[in-house]
Copies of this chain bind each other. A is one copy, B any other.
Amino acid sequence: MGLTPVERAAHYAARSPHFAKVTSKHLAYFQSVLSKPCSTSQRKGNMLTDTEAVAPFNVDWMGQVQGATPAVLMPTCTTHVSEILKYCQAEKLAVVPQSGNTGLVYGSGPVHDELVLSTRLMNAAPVVSKNTMSVVAESGVVLQQCQEACAEEGLLFPLMMGSKGSAMIGGNVSTNAGGIHFARYGSMHSNVLGVELVTAKGDVLNMMSTLRKDNAGYDLKHLFIGSEGTLGVVIRTAIKLYPQPTSKQLAMFRLKDFESVLELYHLANSHLAECLSAFEVMDGESIATSPAKDVPYERTCKNDVFRLGKDFAAAYFCALVETNGGNEEHDFDKLSRFAEAAQARLGDKLSGGGQYEPILSQSAAQSEQLWALREGVPVHLASHGLIYKYDVSFPIDKFYSIVEHTREILYRQCKMNPDEVIVVGYGHFGDGNVHLNVVDLTRTHGDQLDAALYPAVYKYCAAHGGSISAEHGVGLQKRDYLHLSRTKEAIQLMVDLKTVMDPNGILNPYKVLPLE
């Protein structure tokens, strides 16, 4: 769509006449609430109304959708948020909660003139408890800051992802963030022990707890985890921690075809068992764009990149296999035996003729380099052209089929040129979470790609047991495709819950659920 970010916002939804316009009376009220110091930290809140100051809060991370908020409200405590939301519910003022604003589905910014409720000032230092192996963090705490606070106490924070330097705990919880250690440590549904939040009606729900087992009534916290700020605003969260691994091992494998990736994964599960912590896969095309100089395999990729095989099979795959464990000797032994078993089982499917031997990382620096290759993929791809990103999931045996199907559509059906539009797949294999990326190298095929891929990609997911959103959520971007992954009855129940919990629909409107 050749739309500006403002036009794109309007394209997703017209402003609902149901919401009131923010007036100076409203702003004066917010100012009076936020000027009261927080009862614990004594810190006052803040409100931004200056056009320049609010600008970064108006647009998403990718610069695709831009709203026009009249004010950014920056509370410092539960009381602030409760008073703000009670008032907004009564006055029918729309509000979008925002923490790190690193989301990829346009879920955390205003679409029109919603107020932004930023969690940034709720960022007291995280409190780590060694006894209960948990951390309590406010919603404005940056993920990396939280990870580091836990590491200082010898404990591991279970979430790790590329945006760690900007993403915040509130958003991580509200979007059920996944990341690279999901297969080992599980989702936010598995790791959140307790939460304090404010509902869309302004009620305080104090469900703080560091208990592991607690079956006293409906476990309401799960309703808010992953509901993308449409039902409530998370204030602080208690999250389960794990023993900090004292040994991290990393290996990289080059594989000839997808069947070998699947076989390698099953071997990894049986040989590495409890210490397997990540199994990431990239097709050769993903890493061909990398500017990395010293990464094995990479330099020869250029020759392979467009030599797609029969039915658009990838030229080859790279698998990055990580272990996290408590004993270096044991883990290295397991990894070595795994690599031997892989070579015995996969033969030349693995080695590709001798020059692509598996790499068992010999140092932290080498591991960092291999991880940088993986984490750099989305960045490098974006630098080559206009990027279309799809975050979808499949049963693992169908992980790569969406990439081949997309090539089929673009190259065969639409007769597009692989020199101008590249289609790559990479992602968290252990979770079936494939990141399908389409890069328009010439930046001229936008309309054609829109027509060819929406909703074809999502329809393919739905038809093959996949999900239209693996880890990024629905937001504005996938709202109109939700029905492909969820039944009519399930969506109706979501709408019923939203209605009972947010009668005026003020919290994060236009997002996630179908427009009326």
A479 to chain B, nearest CB (A): 9
Q: Do B205 and A433 touch (CB < 8 A)?
A: no
A101 to B504, CA, bound (A): 42
Known contacts A273-B245, A490-B205, A500-B497; is-contact A219 B189 (Cβ 8 Å): yes
Q: Do B489 and A176 touch (CB < 8 A)?
A: no
Q: Indicate if A70 sits at the interface (CB-CB under 8 A).
A: no
**How many protomers of this protein does the assembly include?**
2
A496 to B494, CA, bound (A): 14
Q: Indicate if A326 sits at the interface (CB-CB under 8 A).
A: yes
Known contacts A214-B393, A491-B217; is-contact A243 B496 (Cβ 8 Å): no
Q: Indicate if A204 sits at the interface (CB-CB under 8 A).
A: yes
Chain B residues within an 8 Å CB radius of A133: 269
Q: Indicate if A210 sits at the interface (CB-CB under 8 A).
A: yes
Chain B residues within an 8 Å CB radius of A512: 217-218
Q: Do B272 and A220 touch (CB < 8 A)?
A: no
Q: Indicate if A486 sits at the interface (CB-CB under 8 A).
A: yes
A249 to chain B, nearest CB (A): 13
Q: Which of A213, A227, A482, A513 has the most CB of B within 10 A?
A: A213
Q: Do A216 and B474 touch (CB < 8 A)?
A: yes
| Complex A-B: 8 CB contacts under 8 Å | A209-B465, A211-B466, A211-B470, A213-B433, A217-B485, A217-B490, A218-B227, A220-B494
Q: Do A243 and B270 touch (CB < 8 A)?
A: yes
Q: Do B272 and A326 touch (CB < 8 A)?
A: yes
Q: Do A182 and B213 touch (CB < 8 A)?
A: yes
Q: Which residue of B lies closest to A467 (CB)?
A: B214
Residues of A176-191 contacting chain B, CB below 8 A: 176, 178, 182-183, 186-187, 189-190
Q: Indicate if A493 sits at the interface (CB-CB under 8 A).
A: yes
A426 to chain B, nearest CB (A): 15
Known contacts A190-B186, A206-B487, A489-B205; is-contact A393 B211 (Cβ 8 Å): yes
Q: Which residue of B lies closest to A397 (CB)?
A: B131
Known contacts A222-B222, A500-B497; is-contact A216 B469 (Cβ 8 Å): yes
Residue of B203, B219, B272, B394 near A211 (CB, 8 A) is B394
Q: Indicate if A48 sits at the interface (CB-CB under 8 A).
A: no
Q: Indicate if A383 sits at the interface (CB-CB under 8 A).
A: no
Q: Do A274 and B326 touch (CB < 8 A)?
A: yes
Q: Do B215 and A176 touch (CB < 8 A)?
A: yes
Chain B residues within an 8 Å CB radius of A199: 489, 493
A175 to B266, CA, bound (A): 32
Q: Do B469 and A214 touch (CB < 8 A)?
A: yes
Q: Do A274 and B395 touch (CB < 8 A)?
A: no
A501 to B499, CA, bound (A): 12
Known contacts A205-B487, A490-B205, A493-B199; is-contact A210 B395 (Cβ 8 Å): yes
Q: Do A213 and B428 touch (CB < 8 A)?
A: yes
| Contact segment of A61-69, A286-294, A327-335, A361-369 | A327-335
Known contacts A189-B189, A212-B183, A330-B327; is-contact A219 B218 (Cβ 8 Å): no
Q: Do A326 and B271 touch (CB < 8 A)?
A: yes
Q: Indicate if A325 sits at the interface (CB-CB under 8 A).
A: yes
